[in-house]
Amino acid sequence: MKAAITKKLILDNFTGKTTPLQRKQIDGWLQSKANEELYFKWLEEWETRNPEYQPDSDPLIQGYLDYIHSTPRHAAEATPEAAGSSFRAPLNRSGAIAATIAAIILLSGIWLYGESVLYKTYRTAGSETKTFVLNDGSKVTLAEHSTLKVPRWGFVTPNREVALDGRADFRVSHTRDGRKFVVKTEKNFEVVVLGTEFSVLSRRREAEVVLNRGKVLVNYQEGNAARQLVMKPGELVSFDQHNQAVLKSAPKSPGFSAQGEKRFVFEKTPLSEVALMLRDTYGADVRIDSPNLARRQLMGSFQAEDLDELLSTISDLLNIEAVREENVIRFSEKRSQFVPSKP
Amino acid sequence: MQVSSSDRFSDFMSESKLSVYRPADATANGEENASRPIPLDEEILIRKAFQSSPEEGCELLFRRYHRPLCSHALRFVYSPEVAEDIVSDVFCRFWKNSSFDSVSTSFCHYLFRSVRHAAYSHLRAEFRQLDSLESSKLPEGSAGLRPDHITQYEETFNRVKELVAQLPPQCRQVFLLSRFEGMRYKEIAAEMGLSVKTVDTHLAKAMSLMRQGMRDYLILSTGLMAMLMGNG
């Protein structure tokens, strides 16, 4: 007898909850074209409702449109249905392939469109701000009345370079090949990112860089001399009209005492930086037992009501000891319970 | 003219601090039609768009299907980067070969099928590449082989998921950080407080377990075994 193939059964199949026999029945059911259509429709529905992953598609659309406009298309052949060939290289080479494709696109685009093809321009007007994610995963918040130019369809230059006029806030992601992220401005200075999170302001009359996390290098021109300075988290560099740099500490964040939900977000934040943060916000004296420990990184987003809760979370996350005595916080290694086994 | 008040400035700055984060942008991701069921007729509009402008048609398709397609590809390859590459590639070829003119199924059907073929091939190529002894026996061009049955794709990605779940915890975490987060050995080592060498060991172990688990599976499910025996 024919088994009833229901939508539920098909959905169960997507989640791997069917038996081999049921799968066989589904395959039989799929002999009909109409059923096959239905199957893929449900698959799409299922993926949309239960995404395993949600890319930020929006910035990629422009890249695709650029590809379309710069690539002539062939007439349709009796297309061998869908992809079958192993056009894709093994994992570790996929980046290189993407880069090659991007390079070809850019090269062919330059002839036709010039700069507008090379760069996508994000603009904010009035009091509007915009947040978006670049192709490399870096997150940018563009403040009011600002412009940011970003290479379209990925960064193909040795450095990831963007050009800013106005004010923006960057959270830079690492790339596998460790390419630097550079923010260029028209004010004769640029910021080279060695770490992660910072803000840049560059307007006609003012220019500032604030570093929240990580490490950045600021290249600037003072008179005729090229200068350079390295910033640490919590520092602010401002430039006066003669492009002279002044380094000071950034205005304190409202930090943990802020109203509302207390959510802490760590994105690969080393313990050493967490220590700085604890010192700045709580005035605590933080001691980390070993340099190794200081390099351990925290990742994740969680809630904590107070310092002790925060410490206990940190201790859980990193599986380390976090002890507080009055104003002194001490992080130390737990005695290791895990001994990696040789394969 | 250009007076940005300092209050506003510090407001902006403080928004960006690492310490306190209000999940305000959680809702910012426009997901208009995420949850409502889509009648197949929905593609009528897209087909109409193709009649007047293929460019516009492609854009609509991209907007409509890029996300779920990436999610689908990820189930096979377990790397967001590779998944996005695969999907971009399918869209690029879709344009370049004017596939939209010859598609006899729905676009949804076509795109999903293309993406899962590509993701499957990638998976196979990857596991094949890791095992040189095995690969020397494989006939040329065998990467183009596909499962006979549609449901084998579901079996495959669910198998991948199972295998990942079965990895020893620390091994799994290393694997996920490496694949999912695209982190380098060094970064993983720092993150987990392990030595680079240990990370390497874990990763090798993870890959070997995955390979073992997948190899039989992929080969059997594509009838490759028969070819191997024929050749060998």
Contacts with A36 (C-beta within 8 Å, 6 or more apart), sequence order? A30, B105, B109, B150
Name which residue leads in pLDDT, A283 or A63.
A63
Chain B residues with CB-CB distance to A69 below 8 A: 55
Q: What is the mean pLDDT of residues A333-342?
A: 57
Of B85, B106, B183, Cβ closest to residue A98: B85
Dihedral sign, CA of B94, B98, B100, B105?
A: negative
Of A57, A75, A299, Cβ closest to residue B67: A57
Q: What is the pLDDT of residue A335?
A: 65
Q: How confident is the model at residue A227 (pLDDT cuts 50, 70, 90)?
A: confident
Query: Is B65 a residue whose pLDDT tops 90?
Result: yes
Q: What is the pLDDT of residue A10?
A: 94
Contacts with B91 (C-beta within 8 Å, 6 or more apart), sequence order? A64, B58, B61, B62, B66, B111
Name which residue leads in pLDDT, B163 or A147.
B163
Q: 3-state SS of chain B?
A: CCCCCHHHHHHHHHHCCCCECCHHHHHCCCCCCCCCCCCCCHHHHHHHHHHHCHHHHHHHHHHHHHHHHHHHHHHHHCCHHHHHHHHHHHHHHHHHCCHHHHCCCCHHHHHHHHHHHHHHHHHHHHHHHHCHHHHHHCCCCHHHCCCCCCHHHHHHHHHHHHHHHHCCHHHHHHHHHHHCCCCCHHHHHHHHCCCHHHHHHHHHHHHHHHHHHHHHHHHHHHCHHHHHHHHC
| Interface touch A77/B84, C-beta < 8 Å | no
| Interface touch B204/A343, C-beta < 8 Å | yes
Chain B residues with CB-CB distance to A210 below 8 A: 13
Query: Is B115 a residue whose pLDDT tops 90?
Result: yes
> For residue A185, how many other CB atoms are within 10 A of its CB?
21
| Interface touch A82/B117, C-beta < 8 Å | yes
Of A27, A79, A212, Cβ closest to residue B16: A212
Structure tokens at A100: 């090659």
Q: Which of B155, B169, B162 is nearest to B212 (CA)?
A: B162
Structure tokens at A76: 């349709």
| Interface touch A88/B12, C-beta < 8 Å | no
| Chain A interface mutation, best of B6, B11, B14, B17, highest count of A Cβ atoms under 10 Å | B17
CB-neighbour burial class of residue B78 (10 A; exposed 0-12, middle 13-18, buried 19+) = buried
Of B18, B114, B191, Cβ closest to residue A82: B114
Q: What percent of chain A has pLDDT over 90?
A: 10
| Interface touch A268/B20, C-beta < 8 Å | no
Q: Any idea of the CA torsion for A154, A155, A161, A167, to the nearest 10 degrees? A: 20
Burial per residue of A85-108, b for 16 or more beta-carbon CB atoms within 10 angstroms, e otherwise: ebbbbebeebbeebeebbeebbee
Alpha-helical runs (H) found in chain A: 7-14, 20-29, 33-49, 58-70, 94-113, 115-118, 271-282, 291-295, 307-318
Q: Nearest 5°: CA angle at A128, between A248 and B27?
A: 100
Q: What is the mean pLDDT of residues B202-231?
A: 65
The DSSP secondary structure of A298-317, one letter per residue, reads EEEEEE-SSHHHHHHHHHHH
Checking DSSP bridges between strand A160-171 and strand A181-185, what pairing results, if any? Answer: parallel
Q: What is the mean pLDDT of residues B34-40?
A: 41
CA–CA distances in Å: residue A329 to residues A233, A300, B192:
20, 21, 21
Q: Measured between CA atoms, how close is B182 to chain A, in angstroms?
A: 7
Q: What percent of chain B has pLDDT over 70?
A: 67
| Interface touch A76/B99, C-beta < 8 Å | yes
Structure tokens at B25: 């942008």
Q: What is the pLDDT of residue A292?
A: 86
Structure tokens at B207: 């890959």
Q: Which amino acid is at B47?
A: R
- For residue range A231-243, what is the model confidence (pLDDT) as tens digits? 877 777 777 767 7
Structure tokens at A254: 């409202």
| Chain A interface mutation, best of B11, B16, B198, highest count of A Cβ atoms under 10 Å | B16
Q: Which of A18, A16, A219, A15 is nearest to A3 (CA)?
A: A18
Q: What is the pLDDT of residue B18?
A: 30
Structure tokens at B131: 């095992």
Say which range, B21-35, B46-60, B101-115, B139-153, has the weakest mean pLDDT: B21-35
ipTM over 0.90: no
- Closest residue, chain B, to A78 (C-alpha): B102
- For residue range A243-278, what is the model confidence (pLDDT) as tens digits? 777 777 765 443 222 223 345 666 677 888 888 777
- For residue range A39-49, what is the model confidence (pLDDT) as tens digits? 999 999 999 98
Q: What is the pLDDT of residue A211?
A: 74
Q: What is the DSSP letter of A76?
A: P
Q: Answer whether B157's CB lies under 8 Å from B171's CB.
A: no
Q: What is the pLDDT of residue A210?
A: 75
Of A51, A169, A297, Cβ closest to residue B68: A51
| Chain B interface mutation, best of A41, A108, A167, A176, highest count of B Cβ atoms under 10 Å | A41
Chain B residues with CB-CB distance to A141 below 8 A: 15-16
Cα B72 to Cα B166: distance, rounded to the nearest angstrom: 21
Q: What is the pLDDT of residue A195?
A: 53
Query: Is B185 a residue whose pLDDT tops 80?
Result: yes
Of B99, B112, B154, Cβ closest to residue A13: B154
| Chain B interface mutation, best of A35, A45, A56, A81, highest count of B Cβ atoms under 10 Å | A81
Q: What is the pLDDT of residue A46?
A: 93
| Interface touch A76/B38, C-beta < 8 Å | no
Q: Answer whether A36's CB lies under 8 Å from B109's CB.
A: yes
Structure tokens at B13: 């700055």
